[in-house]
Amino acid sequence: MSLRKKTSFVSALALLVSTLLLSGVSIPVRAADAISEAIDAGTTYLLGQVKAKQVGHRAEGQVALETYALVVSGVSINHPLIRRNFDHLNARMSKSKHTYTLACYIFALDAAISQIEQDILILAPAKAKALFKDNPRIGKEFRPHLKRAVENLADIQMAGGGGWGYGPSKDKFDNSNTQFAVLGLGVGMKRNIPIDRKVWLKILDHFVDGQQEKGPEVEERVTLMRPSDKEAWNSRVKLIDGDKKAPEADKDKKSSKRKKSSGRTIVVTPANPEVGFEGIKVYKRGFDYRNAGGATWNMTCAGLSSLILARDTLEGKIPKQMLNALNKAVRDGYGWLMTSWAPTKSYYGMYSLEKVGDLGDIKLFGKHDWFDEMSKHLIGQQLVDGSWPGGAAHGEKEDPRIPTSFALLVLNRASSLITKNPNSRIIVSGKSNPGESGARDWVYIPDLNKTIHYPSLMRHIRMRPNVKLIRFLDNIVESYPLEFKGELIPDMAKVRDAIRSKSVRAVIDGHLEKITGYEYKEWESYLKWHRRWERVMAIGLSKKKENVQDLLTYYASTKRSVSLKKAVMWALVQCQAQEGLPLFLADLDHEDAGIRQAAYGYIKAYFVDFPPTFSPQAADAKRKAQAEKVRLWCDAQLAKQKARG
């Protein structure tokens, strides 16, 4: 690849999360890098807290919430602390009637099953993805507990309506408890646990009737995720069930309605009803804690996530009049959020919005990229120890472990696992290209005709090591853009430090040596190499000539790493530093053939015409003669340039 083509990679950088300042020079940090580091630090903190304090000192709801957050973050369900938490919960939750606790317990059990499913999909992606459906044999030890908890949750729905309170009640409810209950029932539907349809219809009535009656018209509209985004991020279970739809069902999709045997008219949910068809007005109408006519951020999110989930669950089985009212309620709920935008006031509120965004496949609320805004905020708020500060989870002071759990759920986009298949944490994608964004987190592997998500792969190897995954890592290192391979170092070095498998470590050591051009004994040395490489890349990307002297210093001091020396060469050319040309000409005689070849390649970037032939692998006498011809040619070219002024 020519130097001129190489510079086009600059525009492909993912400028999504933060900027690392290095002596006045900035280099973009990929979104997944910053988010992954925040998740890792938060997970380490939470695991340390769980280990330090006995389970019995915490309410079951907090144990379940923390377990859910840790499993979603990638901690193995076979980790001793996770096993201890589940043993504690399983022994105490069989007869629980507490809404929050039951819901969080259900989420944790479902996450455990999903983790097993993910591992199967990762290790045998083609076969598993083609045949995937909820298999009752997967996660058998968790399923009886899950079934019992879902049934208990359905049983305590308010007798006279569609809401839930803290426990069984005839007339007391609040929409905070209710949103957790609805999400728990959504897990039950995904896992084929029978739930009376009347329960879902009561939920619809509860929120449609409880929404504010009136509100001003709003101009903003939501932007849904594109089909390609949804395929790569969180395809719904029904999209990969493997079961072909009956011809009648396909016919129903094409028509606007069909008749049931009972004579009731059932309408298939129209595509994207929440966007607002032309001519359909959207109003600002939210929800409050007890359906009293007010509206708050958290409860509007609660109403929306519940309505979206109920609509998806009852798709094709909702009476027309109710469906129209439901779609209007969702549109107007979005209208309230977009015109009252304040997503980061509390961790509970951020988690509530994450549920709406991921369950509704929302990319933008008006002009707001909700996940980008929240992830940046969370990364900025995280403390040095990996925790998030207490006092803003529910709007009151509490143990930092609670906001840390909520923050991890948001950064992991945990709700995408509730109603969607395990590919929402996919490592291998069915797509045969790396995506439109150009972000290098997804790496196209020609040999596999797949794209692989590198940060997810490395976290999986670190959290749940498996030698079979190394074949993916081999392909990533080979296929990653040459000038950006240094980006792979931090995650790889982190895995090298954490892994205990000698065979896996040996493979990673080989890749680290190949990328850096030198075998370092300590993993910290690779991180030091990466910091130097990142500094060099930052200067090259910024093209600031005032930093050329730093590059010249690095060039002189880089003795062992061929890869790093090549990066300095690239940066010098990016800065159009004439000082680099004499160095490259001198290195035509370098002892390393790779440096000789790189030097010759970068010499070409200084001139329009091509220099005389140079063969880096030729015998000494021939190579030295060729090098001398190149030097004489360069002198002549420089003389011509000077003469032209």
Does residue 150 contact residue 156 with C-beta atoms inside 8 Å? Answer: no
What pLDDT shows up at residue 255?
A: 37
Residue 16 has pLDDT above 60, yes or no: no
Whether residue 178 lies inside any domain: the answer is yes
Residue 383 has pLDDT above 70, yes or no: yes
Q: Please give the Cα distance from 364 to 184 (Å, whole number).
A: 26
Residue predicted with more confidence, 561 or 121 = 561
Residue 221 has pLDDT above 60, yes or no: yes
- Residues whose CB falls within 8 Å of the CB of residue 324, separated by 6 or more in sequence, listed in order: none
Highest-confidence range of 170-179, 409-418, 554-563, by mean pLDDT?
170-179
At 92, the pLDDT band (50, 70, 90 cuts) reads very high
Q: What does residue 540 show for φ and ψ, rounded to 5 degrees?
A: -65, -40
pTM for the model stands at 0.77
CATH number of the domain residue 324 falls in? 1.50.10
Decide: helix, strand or coil at residue 589.
Answer: helix
What mean pLDDT comes out for the span 446-473?
Answer: 76
What pLDDT shows up at residue 460?
A: 83
Residue 396 has pLDDT above 60, yes or no: no
At 130, the pLDDT band (50, 70, 90 cuts) reads low
What pLDDT shows up at residue 637?
A: 92
- Residues whose CB falls within 8 Å of the CB of residue 423, separated by 6 or more in sequence, listed in order: 121, 129, 234, 235, 240
Helix (H) or strand (E) run with residue 267 in it: strand 265-267
| Cα–Cα–Cα angle for 525, 531, 537, rounded to 5 degrees | 135
Whether residue 554 lies inside any domain: the answer is no
Q: Please give the Cα distance from 200 to 306 (Å, whole number).
A: 10
What mean pLDDT comes out for the span 62-91?
Answer: 96
Name the amino acid, one letter, at 521: K
At 346, the pLDDT band (50, 70, 90 cuts) reads very high
C-alpha closest to that of 43 among 388, 397, 500: 388
What mean pLDDT comes out for the span 59-78?
Answer: 95
Residue predicted with more confidence, 227 or 444 = 444
| Residues β-bridged to residue 236 | 420
Whether residue 608 lies inside any domain: the answer is no
At 614, the pLDDT band (50, 70, 90 cuts) reads very high
Does residue 602 contact residue 3 with C-beta atoms inside 8 Å? Answer: yes
At 173, the pLDDT band (50, 70, 90 cuts) reads very high
What pLDDT shows up at residue 444?
A: 75
Does residue 400 contact residue 407 with C-beta atoms inside 8 Å? Answer: no
Decide: helix, strand or coil at residue 218.
Answer: strand
At 286, the pLDDT band (50, 70, 90 cuts) reads very high
Residue predicted with more confidence, 66 or 19 = 66
What pLDDT shows up at residue 14?
A: 22
Whether residue 583 lies inside any domain: the answer is no
What pLDDT shows up at residue 495?
A: 86
Residue 27 has pLDDT above 50, yes or no: no
Does residue 154 contact residue 143 with C-beta atoms inside 8 Å? Answer: no
DSSP class of 539: H
Whether residue 138 lies inside any domain: the answer is yes
Q: Please give the Cα distance from 259 to 252 (Å, whole number).
A: 10
Name the amino acid, one letter, at 296: T
Range of 193's domain?
A: 33-425
Residue 482 has pLDDT above 90, yes or no: no
Residue 174 has pLDDT above 60, yes or no: yes
What pLDDT shows up at residue 254?
A: 38
Q: What percent of the chain has pLDDT over 90?
A: 57
Does residue 338 contact residue 218 with C-beta atoms inside 8 Å? Answer: yes
Decide: helix, strand or coil at residue 450.
Answer: strand
What pLDDT shows up at residue 125?
A: 59
What mean pLDDT comes out for the span 217-242?
Answer: 57
Name the amino acid, one letter, at 135: N
| Residues β-bridged to residue 267 | 257, 318
Residue 476 has pLDDT above 90, yes or no: no
Q: Please give the Cα distance from 593 to 580 (Å, whole number).
A: 19
Does residue 90 contact residue 425 with C-beta atoms inside 8 Å? Answer: no
At 131, the pLDDT band (50, 70, 90 cuts) reads low
What mean pLDDT comes out for the span 293-305?
Answer: 97
Whether residue 272 lies inside any domain: the answer is yes
What mean pLDDT comes out for the span 457-467?
Answer: 81
What pLDDT shows up at residue 278?
A: 52
Side-chain half-sphere CA neighbours of 513 within 13 A: 11
Decide: helix, strand or coil at residue 157.
Answer: coil
Whether residue 321 lies inside any domain: the answer is yes
What pLDDT shows up at residue 512?
A: 93
Assigned token pair, 638: 């420089």
Three-state SS string over 165-199 comes to: CCCCCCCCCCHHHHHHHHHHHHHHHHCCCCCCHHH
Does residue 102 contact residue 93 with C-beta atoms inside 8 Å? Answer: yes
Residue 271 has pLDDT above 70, yes or no: no
Residue 409 has pLDDT above 70, yes or no: yes
What pLDDT shows up at residue 581?
A: 94
| Cα–Cα–Cα angle for 171, 174, 175, rounded to 5 degrees | 130
Residue 126 has pLDDT above 70, yes or no: no
Q: Where are the beta strands (DSSP E) in 136-284?
A: 217-218, 222-224, 257-259, 265-267, 282-283
Residue predicted with more confidence, 567 or 122 = 567
Decide: helix, strand or coil at residue 21.
Answer: strand
Name the amino acid, one letter, at 460: H
Q: Please give the Cα distance from 559 to 590 (Å, whole number).
A: 11
Lowest mean pLDDT among 37-41, 239-243, 297-301: 239-243
Residue 299 has pLDDT above 50, yes or no: yes
Residue 233 has pLDDT above 70, yes or no: no
Residue 343 has pLDDT above 90, yes or no: yes
Strands 265-267 and 257-259 come out as antiparallel
What mean pLDDT comes out for the span 220-239?
Answer: 56
Name the amino acid, one letter, at 56: G
What mean pLDDT comes out for the span 326-337?
Answer: 96
Q: How far is CA 393 from CA 286, 349, 547, in A?
A: 21, 8, 45
Residue 564 has pLDDT above 80, yes or no: yes
Assigned token pair, 305: 């996530």
Assigned token pair, 341: 């935008």
Whether residue 304 lies inside any domain: the answer is yes
Q: pLDDT tens digit string along 37-62?
A: 899 999 999 999 999 987 777 789 99
At 450, the pLDDT band (50, 70, 90 cuts) reads low
Q: Where are the beta strands (DSSP E) in 318-358?
A: 318-319
At 422, the pLDDT band (50, 70, 90 cuts) reads low
Residue 622 has pLDDT above 80, yes or no: yes
Largest CA distance in the chain: 95
Q: What is the CA radius of gyration of the chain?
A: 29
Helices (H) and strands (E) in the chain, counts: 27, 12
At 273, the pLDDT band (50, 70, 90 cuts) reads low
Does residue 410 contact residue 354 with C-beta atoms inside 8 Å? Answer: yes
C-alpha closest to that of 169 among 99, 93, 64: 99
At 641, the pLDDT band (50, 70, 90 cuts) reads confident
Q: pLDDT tens digit string along 303-316?
A: 999 999 999 999 88
What's the distance, CA 184 to chain centroid?
Answer: 23
Instruction: Classify the phi-psi angles of 24: left when phi > 0, otherwise alpha if psi is within -120 to 50, otherwise beta.
Output: left
Among all chains, which residue has been given the structure tokens 């509530």? 352
What mean pLDDT comes out for the span 181-206?
Answer: 95
- Residues whose CB falls within 8 Å of the CB of residue 239, separated by 6 or more in sequence, listed in order: 421
Number of domains in the chain: 1
What mean pLDDT comes out for the span 577-584?
Answer: 94
Q: Please give the Cα distance from 593 to 224 (Å, whole number).
A: 52
At 274, the pLDDT band (50, 70, 90 cuts) reads low
What pLDDT shows up at residue 26?
A: 34
Q: Please give the Cα distance from 397 to 72 (Å, whole number).
A: 25
| Cα–Cα–Cα angle for 410, 413, 414, rounded to 5 degrees | 95
At 5, the pLDDT band (50, 70, 90 cuts) reads very low
